[in-house]
Amino acid sequence: MQVPTEAVLARVFLGEADRTPAGQPLYEAVVLKAREMGLAGATVLRGPMGFGRNSHLHTAKILRLSVDLPMIVEIVDAEPKVRALLDAIEPMMGSGLVTLERVQVIRYGAPAAR
């Protein structure tokens, strides 16, 4: 699979406890949908601390154990493919933040054979 040099990066900011209407973890549903739609890849990052629109603090500190830590799904591919994915996941989304930015792909895939 090839990723164009000029691509876009979508970041989907969620909470670990966010679920689809069917009850599946939302971050998992986003990754599986990206895979189903043939995007180049997706990565889920779990944050140790954060807050969102309601300013409720989510943290992994021992004294304040949270079961709803911040999650970020990052996806890089051609803009039309990423926008199609964002349209497909919109019905699953409750709360959350989605950002999109232009990126330059320097490398994608295995190293060249010697």
Q: How far is CA 50 from the centre of its chain?
A: 16
Token pair of 101 as six digits: 């930015």
Q: What share of the chain is helix, strand, coil (3-state, %, to 5)?
A: 25, 35, 40
Q: What angle do CA 34, 12, 79 make, to 5 degrees?
A: 55
Token pair of 3 as six digits: 């990723």
Q: d(Cα 72, Cα 12) in Å, to the nearest integer?
A: 5
> In the chain, what are the domains?
6-104 (3.30.70.120)
Question: Can you give 27-55 as a three-state secondary structure string?
Answer: HHHHHHHHHHCCCCCEEEEECCEEECCCC
pLDDT tens, position by position, for the chain (114 residues)? 677 789 999 999 998 889 998 999 999 999 999 999 999 999 999 987 777 766 666 665 655 555 678 999 999 999 999 999 999 999 999 878 999 999 999 888 776 666
Among 7, 4, 3, 25, which Cα is nearest to 16's? 25
